[in-house]
Amino acid sequence: MVCIPAEIAASVAAEAVVAMNTESKVRKAIIDGMDPQEAYLTFGKF
């Protein structure tokens, strides 16, 4: 279990949503044929 202080919970949740959306874009790009390294360089995450 992870405990996040209430005063930063909204910020942490927002950052998690951004990370998940970026990961989805990377995954889709790779499935669509983009080289994984290029996907990493394009989106900054893997």
15 inside domain: yes
In the chain, the number of structural domains is: 1
36 inside domain: yes
40/7 Cα distance (integer angstroms) = 32
Q: Is 39 exposed, middle or buried (0-12, 13-18, 19+ CB in 10 A)?
A: buried
- Range(s) of the domain holding residue 30: 6-43
pLDDT at 44: 87
28 inside domain: yes
Helix residue spans in the chain (DSSP H): 6-31, 36-43
Band (pLDDT 50/70/90 cuts) for residue 46 is: confident
32 inside domain: yes
Whole-model pTM: value is 0.78
Q: Which two tokens stand for residue 35?
A: 């080289």
pLDDT at 45: 76
% the chain with pLDDT above 90: 91
Q: What is the pLDDT of residues 3-42, one digit of tens each?
A: 999 999 999 999 999 999 999 999 999 999 999 999 999 9
